[in-house]
Amino acid sequence: MSIHTDCLAEACKRLDVPCSFVGGDENFLQVDLAGRRYYFPGTSTPFNDGATSKICRDKEFSYKLLGKAIAMPKTMGFVDPEGPEVYRSYARAASTGEVIERILAEFALPVIVKRNSGSQGRHVFLCKSRDDVKVAVEKVFDKNEAETDKYDHVILAQEYIEGQKEYRAVVFEREILLLYEKDVSNALFIGNLSPLHWENSKAVHITDPAMIARMQEFTAPIYPLLDLRYGGLDIIEDAAGRLTLVELNSRPGFGRFAKDNGREPLVQMYMRIIVRLGPSATSRL
């Protein structure tokens, strides 16, 4: 059973809200609340529509929609000009070499180059030279990687923001229900730029009301533009204290957080979600 499913089931139990495993599958939970059925297959939730989930998954779409409303790193996507025929009409460049030159013309070094639809820091490159950009583009566009889920027909170039700290805010109905820092102060970089993949990194639960309020105010401009009912927001703070939204995730995972903080904060988070969905559950808190 996944951590997500286990904590959600425990929250239902504590609130005396009926739930069951569909077909006996412990990673497919049905919750019956306020006359409705909610299905939670795997790490998916019923809260976001397909378009919202796609915008979160596609970093270039996220930037195009939100980049003028909230601080985000400059982001540009390039379709593989030698990729599958169905996508070639969208290509901005005639060759892989031209993609490399366009990135170098549009962005100062260092620059982040990565798969558009990637996650967990896989195939994300910090490029400090022309050669680094060339290697990164060739790796993402390598058709031999298609079988290992590393190939992407869209590559992203993204402005590099040198952050002092990185945070994950988990939101439901425009409210931050969980906030933690991806702490690398005593960690060792071992090849994956995603902070919680560093050796000895930690997910540090933040409960300070002032910090939560600060993050709440920073993320507020998202919601008039994107109907994100539930998701994870990755936020960088630089040395001057400026905040930048790096990306959105409509299916945030909690494995590392639970390892460092236990499951109780997650159970409490899901209890709050259930109460928002069915006010009758409030009396059982």
Residue pLDDT tens, the chain, 285 long: 889 999 999 999 999 999 999 999 999 999 999 899 999 999 899 999 999 999 999 999 999 999 999 999 999 999 999 888 888 888 888 899 999 999 999 999 999 999 887 655 567 899 999 999 999 999 998 877 555 566 788 999 999 998 889 999 999 999 999 999 999 888 767 566 777 777 778 999 999 999 999 999 999 999 999 999 999 999 999 999 999 999 999 999 999 999 999 999 999 999 999 999 986 555 444
At residue 280, φ and ψ (nearest 5 deg) are -65, -20
- Determine the angle formed by the axes of helices 130-140 and 96-106, rounding to 10 degrees: 130
221 and 72 in contact (C-beta within 8 Å)? no
pTM, entire model = 0.91
Taken in order of first residue, the domains within the chain and their CATH numbers are 3-47 (no CATH), 50-54+162-252 (3.30.470.20), 74-159 (3.30.1490.20)
In angstroms, the CA 212 to CA 210 distance is 5
Cβ neighbours of residue 85 closer than 8 Å, sequence gap 6 or more: none
Q: DSSP letter string over 207-223?
A: --HHHHHHHHHHHGGGT
Residue-level pLDDT at 284 = 45
Contact by Cβ (8 Å): 113, 128: no
pLDDT of residue 194: 76
Look at the alpha carbons of 253, 258, 261, 264 in this order and tell me if their dihedral is positive or negative. positive
